[in-house]
Amino acid sequence: MSGFLVVPLVLYAILVISPFLQTFYYSLTDWTGYSSDFSVIGFDNFSKLFEDDLFWKSLQHNIVLLIGMPLLALGLGLFFAFMLNVGGRHKRGEAASGVRGSKLYKILYFFPQVLSIAIVAVLWQNIYNPQGGLLNGVLAGVGLGSWEQDWLGDPGIALACVLVVMVWANVGFYVVLFSAAMGSIPKEIYEAALLDGANRVTTFFRVTLPLIRDNIQTSYVYAGIMALETSFAYVMIMTVNQGGPDHSTLVLPVHMYNKAFRDGQAGYATAVGVSMLVVTMIFAVLALSIGRRRDRLEF
CA nearest neighbour of 282 among 240, 224, 218: 224
pLDDT band at 3 (very low <50, low <70, confident <90, very high): low
pLDDT score at 76: 94
- Structural domain contains residue 285: yes
Of 115, 82, 69, give the one whose Cα is nearest residue 226: 69
CA distance 201 to 207: 10
Average pLDDT, the chain: 85
CA 225 to chain centroid: 6
Domain with 241 in it:
48-290
Look at the chain and report how many structural domains it folds into: 1
Q: For 150, which DSSP code?
A: -
pLDDT digits 0-9 by tens, 39-59? 889 889 999 999 999 999 999
Of the candidates 161, 196, 192, 140, the one whose C-alpha atom is nearest the C-alpha of residue 65 is 161
- Kindly state whether residue 215 falls inside one of the protein's structural domains: yes
Q: Is 29 helix (H, G, I), strand (E, B) or coil?
A: strand
Kindly report the CATH number assigned to the domain that includes residue 253. Answer: 1.10.3720.10
Structural domain contains residue 61: yes
Write the pLDDT tens digit of every residue in 66-83.
999 999 999 999 999 888
Q: Show the beta-strand stretches assigned E in 31-166.
A: none
Q: 21 lies in a domain?
A: no
What pLDDT, on the 0 to 100 scale, is given for residue 103?
80
Whether residue 35 is contained in a domain is answered as: no
State yes or no: pLDDT of 245 exceeds 80.
Answer: yes
The DSSP call for residue 147 is G
Helix (H) or strand (E) holding 7: helix 3-12
Question: Given a cut of 90, is residue 106 above it in pLDDT?
Answer: no
Specify whether the CB–CB gap between 244 and 251 falls below 8 A. no
Asked whether residue 295 is domain-assigned, the answer is no
Residue 296 has pLDDT above 90, yes or no: no
What is the mean predicted confidence (pLDDT) over 80-87? 82
Report d(CA 207, CA 164) in Å as an integer: 30
Alpha-carbon distance 189 to 203, whole Å?
10
Residue 94 lies in a domain: yes
Q: Output the pLDDT for position 291.
A: 62
pLDDT of 197 higher than 80: no
Which of 206, 219, 224 has its CA nearest to residue 179?
A: 219
**128 residue type, one letter:** Y
Amino acid identity for residue 148 in this structure: E
Does the pLDDT of residue 90 top 60, yes or no? no
Q: Is the pLDDT of residue 258 over 70?
A: yes
The residue among 196 and 96 whose pLDDT is bigger is 196
For 127-178, the pLDDT digits (tens) are 999 888 899 899 888 988 888 888 998 899 999 999 999 999 999 999 999 9
Q: Is residue 97 part of a domain?
A: yes
Model's pTM, two decimal places? 0.86
Phi and psi at residue 237, to the nearest 5°: -90, -40
